[in-house]
Amino acid sequence: MRVTVIGTGYVGTVTGACLSYCGHRVTCVDTDARKIDKLRRGEMPIYEPFLDELLRQAAGRGGIDFATELDEAARASDVIFIAVGTPPLPSGEANLCFLEAAARGIGASMDDARFRVVVNKSTVPVGSGNLVETLVREGIRDAHPAGVKRIRFGVASNPEFLREGSAIADSLYPDRIVLGAEEDGTLQVLRELYRPLVSQNFDAPAFLPRPVGLRQVPVVTTTLTSAEMIKYAANAFLAVKIGFANEVANICERVGAEAPQVMAGIGLDSRIGARFLNPGVGWGGSCFGKDIQSLLHTAHEYGYQSRLLEAALEVNRAQRQLVIQKLQEKLFILKGRSIALLGLAFKPETDDLRDAPSLQIAERLLQMGARVKAYDPIAMPACRENYPDLRIQYCPSAEEAAQEADALVLVTEWKEFAGLDLRALARRMARAILVDGRNLFDPEAARQAGFDYCGIGRPQRAARPNSAGLTAP
Ligand SMILES: NC(=O)c1ccc[n+]([C@@H]2O[C@H](COP(=O)([O-])OP(=O)(O)OC[C@H]3O[C@@H](n4cnc5c(N)ncnc54)[C@H](O)[C@@H]3O)[C@@H](O)[C@H]2O)c1
């Protein structure tokens, strides 16, 4: 099929690459000419593992190209995806200006040569499917007043569940595909489009083998509104689950229980599940916070107050402050201290810094008069570019960041940090204090390496009394 994807961010580029890899002919369109130039040169505008390789292979399969103008691509397409950003406004409401421009542009590009399906992949407030339909119609009316009746299109919602860092695997081997539409004809087109992914009958790329046993991907077909709600409900649930783990970890710390053990113990319950139960410095990223705020905003519009979701935001805000408290407990005074952050990206395997805990931690430390150094394997250029006022000293390695530092804070659990030589690191520091914000290290090993270690929900063991009633070392 002929496909246009509007927006070449984390979602649009991956969607375009995967659909093209499955045999569709794809054009990715973005108003950002710099991104399009890069993609045309074979350079990646974002960091996402395997994306460059997948795009190279896609070019030789369905075929993929990149454009800044929508008209020609949309006219030639059976399916047009909207994958533009929907960032939060200060009120918490989703900013729909990019979506509106894209939908109007689609309308203006259409002719009556074929039936087209406009698919909204951006995360949008409940009811936006109808908005897209209205805007496309307005675009048609403004550009071709005589063609309003003849130009045929359907609107669908196809929320995206990929995770940055594993976006290609999530898109080629998804847990489910959600299709929301009001007419059968529209759903039919999307079933056809997704057939290779649903039946998994494409050759898996050598660099990302198909998960063992995956033969068929479940498809959930719903109304537009339910599809939009599924996306928000999924993100809200995951954020609440992490928030719950953090709350329990904070209680563990006080009563002397080991949070990772507690989480392992409850995660084995099949009703609970082990994933998203790692206590830490809080979730971040471009989705959870904005999506919960947007859902709260919609709920308010309907006169409903979701106390649970409000609490999820509050618990996460407080969790990010925990690092500062732990540093104050260890160092008392932060003014003039040198604090080294390991990791800036909101999670490993991405360069995305949107709503990253590292930013708030760094800002707070700087406000309190501390000096902040940082090392991140991938996200430092993006941090420099997008947050030029943040007075972080960027270091070329974890070792350089640790040099003469008063404390080391692990913020993002990049794999390479797990392999660090802790003993050598501790020796470089002015004070060997390690705040492990993701519980990446074994506390005992860190202590033996010379660190004064604290994790999240991992109380320092009190010495046990020995049989003679004396305290063992
Ligand atoms: N990033 C994720 O992990 C993720 C996961 C699931 C869903 N989503 C949702 O998907 C949507 C896109 O997210 P993203 O992270 O890819 O955003 P992004 O900011 O990385 O990319 C959006 C792109 O859209 C482009 N754009 C804006 N207006 C345009 C227009 N009128 N025409 C053409 N291009 C235009 C921008 O230049 C930008 O390159 C959001 O609604 C987000 O909530 C994101």
pLDDT in tens, 136-159: 999 999 999 888 889 999 999 999
Residue 469 has pLDDT above 50, yes or no: no
- Which residue pairs, CB below 8 angstroms and at least 24 apart, start in 41-44? 44/13
Confidence of residue 473 (pLDDT cuts 50, 70, 90): very low
Residue 61 has pLDDT above 50, yes or no: yes
- The amino acid present at 115, given as its one-letter code, is F
The alpha carbon of 438 and the centre of ligand 1 are apart by a number of angstroms equal to: 28
Instruction: Confirm or reject: Cβ of 73 under 6 Å from ligand 1.
Output: no
Take residue 48 and report the two structure tokens written for it: 């996402």
pLDDT in tens, 364-379: 999 999 999 999 999 9
Averaged pLDDT, 401-424: 98
The pLDDT score that the predictor gives to residue 466 is 56
User: Measuring CA to CA, how many Å separate 180 from each of 65, 131, 177?
Assistant: 28, 14, 10
The alpha carbon of 29 and the centre of ligand 1 are apart by a number of angstroms equal to: 11
Instruction: Confirm or reject: Cβ of 407 under 6 Å from ligand 1.
Output: no
Q: What angle do CA 127, 130, 131 make, to 5 degrees?
A: 90
Residue 67 has pLDDT above 60, yes or no: yes
Contact between residue 415 and residue 348 where contact means Cβ atoms under 8 Å apart: yes
- Which residue pairs, CB below 8 angstroms and at least 24 apart, start in 163-166? 164/10, 164/48, 164/285, 164/347, 164/349, 164/350, 164/352, 165/48, 165/49, 165/347, 165/348, 165/349, 165/350, 166/49, 166/349
pLDDT in tens, 344-368: 999 999 999 999 999 999 999 999 9
The catalytic site residues sit at 287
Averaged pLDDT, 417-445: 98
Within 10 angstroms of residue 91's Cβ, the number of other Cβ atoms is 11
Beta-carbon contacts of residue 166 (< 8 Å; ≥ 6 apart): 49, 349
Q: Whose CA is nearest to atom 4 of ligand 1?
A: 11
Instruction: Confirm or reject: Cβ of 95 under 6 Å from ligand 1.
Output: no
387 compared with 147, residue with greater pLDDT: 387
Residue 91 has pLDDT above 50, yes or no: yes
The pLDDT score that the predictor gives to residue 129 is 86
Instruction: Confirm or reject: Cβ of 347 under 6 Å from ligand 1.
Output: no
Q: Whose CA is nearest to atom 25 of ligand 1?
A: 7
Confidence of residue 462 (pLDDT cuts 50, 70, 90): low
Which three-class secondary structure state does DSSP give residue 38? helix
Confidence of residue 464 (pLDDT cuts 50, 70, 90): low
Residue 471 has pLDDT above 80, yes or no: no
Contact between residue 378 and residue 351 where contact means Cβ atoms under 8 Å apart: yes
Confidence of residue 460 (pLDDT cuts 50, 70, 90): confident
Crossing angle (nearest 10°) for helices 307-331 and 357-367:
50
Residues 446, 447, 450, 454: is their CA dihedral positive or negative? positive
pLDDT in tens, 157-215: 999 999 999 999 999 999 999 999 999 999 999 999 999 999 999 999 999 999 999 99
Instruction: State the chain's mean pLDDT as an integer.
Output: 95
